[in-house]
Amino acid sequence: MLQLAWAARSHPGLRRRRNEDSLLARAEVFAVADGMGGHAAGDLASQWTTAALDQAADAAPITRLAVLDAVRDADDRLRRYARRQRESMGTTLCALVVTGATGGGPERFGLLNVGDSRAYRLRGGRLSQLTRDHSVVQELLDAGLINAADAPRHPERHVVTRSLGSDEHLDIDWWRIEPVARDRYLLTTDGLTKEVTDDGIRSIIGSEPDVHRAADALVEAALARGGRDNVSVIVIDVVLVDHPAGLALDPDPLDDDTTPRAARRPRTPRDADTAPSGPSR
């Protein structure tokens, strides 16, 4: 059995009229989605995506295939709607799901990511970013064309290279993670990470043992530093793991890591399922 404690918070920020973020927090699935698009399109994109995961979680047991199919279905729905409305729309997605527990097997986490919403893990006072941003800035950092100090001011800092609802084939990063008692996870949209440094995040979630107060403190920190975007966070504590636990951040991504658009080869809708393993964090 896996026992978790969690808290979810979302705020429109201090400069936005609408909150285009959506959250899902239930015992089996935790997700943050950062919508983008004109008028109410961003709102719909993020809401439809988290609703698809919510529905997938109702059909126990939860499997990787069921979760990924739900994400693909949401992507298809967004594309069809955008074509009908002739309106651009999309959303990022970062989700932590509890899989397994079938046939007496141990429960594990599945972590998926599309875009620049992030997942972190705090273990023994050390904060690790588990996901990798799919963004122009990350590609420039990887190529050594800019340094970390340049990233917050780069003119394309808001541009993502992957999202649900785009016209490109959907690439989804996926990792398997063995849950370890006393670990703390954070899922967040970039409304937090563009305002608060990783050191600041570590200080907040490392010093506040209560998940609800930790989530509140993260949002308050983002607002205190300007609150220029919607900000959403989910703090998840692993309270109890009743099977032998050890770190196994298994690099089992569904797809390749981010690559320059011009370098993408033609892909069939399902060939990503056989892609080689990518980097783990």
Between 62-71, 159-168, 171-180, the lowest mean confidence (pLDDT) is in 159-168
**pLDDT of 262 higher than 50:** no
At residue 85, the pLDDT reads 84
Query: Which structural domains are found in the chain, ordered by start?
Result: 2-243 (3.60.40.10)
Alpha carbons 241 and 223: distance in angstroms, whole number = 35
Per-residue confidence (pLDDT) for residue 37, from 0 to 100: 77
Length of the chain: 281
Mean pLDDT of the chain: 84
Across the range 205-225, mean pLDDT stands at 98
Q: What is the pLDDT of residue 96?
A: 98
What average pLDDT does the segment 185-200 reach? 96
Lowest mean pLDDT among 156-160, 184-188, 210-214: 156-160
Check pLDDT > 80 for residue 183: yes
Residue 32: the pLDDT is 98
Could you tell me the pLDDT band of residue 268, with boundaries at 50, 70 and 90? Answer: very low
Q: Mean pLDDT across the stretch 208-234?
A: 97
Burial 25-49 (b: 16+ CB within 10 A, else e): beebbbbbbbbbbeeebbbbbbbbb
Read off the pLDDT of each residue in 92-119 and give the average, rounded to a whole number: 87
Residue 248 has pLDDT above 70, yes or no: no
Give the integer Cα–Cα distance in Å for 248 and 151.
Answer: 31
Give 139's pLDDT tier (boundaries 50, 70, 90): confident
How confident is the model over 268-278, as a mean pLDDT? Answer: 34
* Over residues 141-169, mean pLDDT: 82
> pLDDT digits over 39-86, tens only?
568 999 999 999 999 999 997 778 999 999 999 999 999 999 988 987
Confidence of residue 182 (pLDDT cuts 50, 70, 90): very high
pLDDT at 152: 74
> How close are the terminal C-alpha atoms of the chain, in Å?
25
pLDDT for 243: 66
Provide mean pLDDT across the span 8-24.
Answer: 95
Distances (CA, A) of 213 to 132, 185, 206, 236: 27, 14, 12, 12
Residue 210 pLDDT: 98
- Quick one: pLDDT at residue 167? 75
Mean pLDDT lowest among 97-101, 147-151, 252-256: 252-256
Residue 174 has pLDDT above 60, yes or no: yes
Q: Is 147 exposed, middle or buried (0-12, 13-18, 19+ CB in 10 A)?
A: exposed
Pick the more confident residue, 249 or 145.
145
pLDDT at residue 233 greater than cutoff 50: yes
Task: Please state, in angstroms and rounded to a whole number, the distance separating the CA atoms of residues 30 and 51.
Answer: 11
